[in-house]
Structure 1
Amino acid sequence: MPENANFAKHSRSAASHNNLGMLLARRGDLQAALDEFQATADPATAHNNLAVVLMEMGKYEESREELVKALALRRYFEPALSNFKLVQERIRQRGEPQKTGRLPQTKVRVASAEQEANELKQSKDR
Structure 2
Amino acid sequence: MFSGAHVLFFSRDAEADRAFFRDILGLPFVDAGHGWLIFQLPPSEAAVHPVDAGSTMAGPGAMLPAEVYLMCDNLDAALAALKAKGVECEPVREERWGRLSRMKLPSGGALGYYEPRHPVAREL
Question: Which category of TM-score, normalised to the shorter sequence, fits these structures?
Answer: under 0.3
Q: Which is bigger in relative contact order (C-alpha 8 A, separation at least 6)? A: 2
| Greater strand share, structure number | 2
TM-score, normalised relative to structure 2:
0.26
* Larger Rg, first or second structure (1 or 2): 1
Give the structure-1-normalised TM-score.
0.25
